[in-house]
Each structure stands twice: as C-alpha cells, then as structure tokens.
C-alpha cells in the first residue's frame, strides 16, 4: 500500500518505518503517505501507540531539495499548505506517538520528530533545522513546534544558524527526551510505547488533546478545555473499571476495555 514507508501493526503497536533510500528525503509523495498512514493508524481499533523510525543511518534528512528547487512561488503557496497539513496529520494522531531518531533528523526530518509526543535518539544521531543555509526557513512546523518545545530563544538560535546538534546537545536543550546507545533507539521507543497497550484509550487521548489545545490558549481557556475532557471521561466504561479496580485492589491493576 505504501511505497516510501512501511506500516507494521502487532500486539497493539503500530511501527511506521520511513523507507525512501538513500536518505528518506521527504518528497511530496512521501508527505502524502505520511498523511495517509496517520489517518490509518488514527482510525484503527487495534493500535494503542505509534512508533516512527527510519534506517540506522538516517531518520529523515529533510525535504527533497531537487524536487523543491523546481517549484515557483505560486506553486509553493499551495505546496507549503499541503506540507504543513501532512505533518499536522501526524501531530494529531490521537494515540501516544514516539520518534526513534536512529540517525540524521534534519530539516523536515526534525520537524517530523517534533510532531511526536516523545523523541528518543541514538547517541550518534544528529538533529537540526538547516533551511537557512538554503536561503529559506523551516516550513513544516520548525519555527513553531520547536519554539513550543525548547523555547523561543533556542528555536531562534537553531533556525538562524542552521547548526546541527549532537544527540547529547539535543538532550541538553530538551529537543529530545532520551538518548540511548546506537542500535537501541527503535527498541527503546517500542518499549516506551508498549506501556500504553491495553490502557484507558479515551483518557490517553484526552491527555494529548488537553495539552495540545491548552498550550495554544490562555490558562482560563485551557482549564475549560481540561474540565470538559475530564467530565466527558465519566461517560466511559474505563472510568468505571479503573475506579472500581482502585477501590478493590489499589492503583495500577485495572484491566481496561479501551472504551
């Protein structure tokens, strides 16, 4: 079904592997496949969490510059909208998501990782937003999601200089949440994702929605969003299961139904 990536679903986990040699350049075709796979996993009842990964050498090295080089301004007005919406589709996957940064994540590759809820990098991974070196700026969320993750000063520094971060530097700047030895990023990301299999599905989705929507608004509005989602969970079976299990056996022992 997919040409530039693969999707494997097993035991409640979906693993999306970017597969467009040699460097997983994010062509228009690959962007559309990211949109499609995001829609697919979002709607599957057998997926509780999603792992995004690439090859051991590269996660994704950014946009397909040869393809982009031919686009005039008028065309890019449309292409930029489609690019952002494809990445937003990944960011809006309701299940917990994690990027296993197995190698270089540059430009659009870093922007794709920013769409996930967590980023786990291999020690030799490299991250950056080098678009300024081409005379442009990030166009798939790099100036926006990055600023919300690491703060505006760090985001400006990375986007203004186009410098490349080591995994250790990215961890220090909070651009990734974890660094592991080479060869272990995908396994660690899968381990992290597995904790959500069989969990309270609607509550997990509510956490993502509350945080993602709340960070865009003032505190009073954010609390209103949280309140509505909190109350809505009292219509779920998992709320009944979880609370009864807590009363009977203490925390952490509920067998949730996912509804």
Catalytic residue set:
63, 108, 111, 131
What one-character-per-residue DSSP string does 92-149 give?
Answer: T-SS-EEEEE-SEEETHHHHHHHTSSEEEEETT-EEE-GGGGGT----SSTTTHHHHH
Helices and strands of the chain, counted as H and E runs: 11, 10
Token pair listed for 146:
């990055």
Contact 3, 29 (CB under 8 A): yes
Structure tokens at 252: 């952490």
> From CA 155, how far away is CA 67, in angstroms rounded?
27
Which of 6, 85, 89, 16 has the alpha carbon at shortest distance from 47?
16
- From CA 121, how far away is CA 123, in angstroms rounded? 6
Handedness of CA 18, 20, 23, 24 (dihedral sign): negative
Q: Does a cis peptide bond (omega within 30 degrees of 0) precede residue 22?
A: yes
Q: What is the DSSP letter of 63?
A: B
């Amino acid at each position: 079904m997919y040409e530039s990536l693969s999707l494997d679903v097993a035991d409640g986990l979906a693993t999306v592997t970017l597969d467009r040699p040699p460097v997983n350049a994010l062509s228009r075709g690959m962007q559309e496949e990211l949109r499609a796979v995001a829609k697919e996993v979002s709607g599957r009842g057998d997926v509780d969490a999603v792992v995004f990964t690439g090859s051991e050498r590269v996660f994704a090295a950014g946009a397909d510059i040869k393809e982009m080089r031919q686009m005039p301004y008028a065309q890019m007005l449309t292409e930029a909208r489609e690019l952002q919406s494809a990445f937003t589709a990944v960011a809006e996957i309701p299940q917990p998501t994690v990027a296993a940064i197995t190698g270089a994540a540059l430009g659009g590759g870093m922007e794709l990782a920013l769409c996930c809820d967590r980023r786990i990098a291999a020690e030799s991974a490299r991250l950056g937003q080098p678009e300024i070196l081409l005379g442009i700026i990030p166009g798939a969320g790099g100036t926006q999601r990055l600023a919300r993750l690491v703060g505006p000063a760090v985001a400006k520094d990375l986007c203004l200089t186009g410098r490349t971060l080591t995994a250790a530097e990215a961890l220090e700047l909070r651009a990734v949440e974890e660094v592991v030895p080479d060869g272990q990023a995908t396994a660690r990301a899968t381990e992290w994702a597995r904790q959500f299999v069989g969990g309270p599905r609607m509550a997990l989705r509510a956490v993502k929605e509350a945080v993602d929507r709340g960070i865009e608004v003032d505190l009073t509005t954010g609390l209103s969003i949280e309140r509505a989602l909190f109350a809505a969970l009292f219509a779920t079976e998992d709320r009944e299961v979880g609370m009864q299990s807590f009363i009977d056996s203490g925390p952490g022992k509920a067998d949730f139904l996912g509804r």
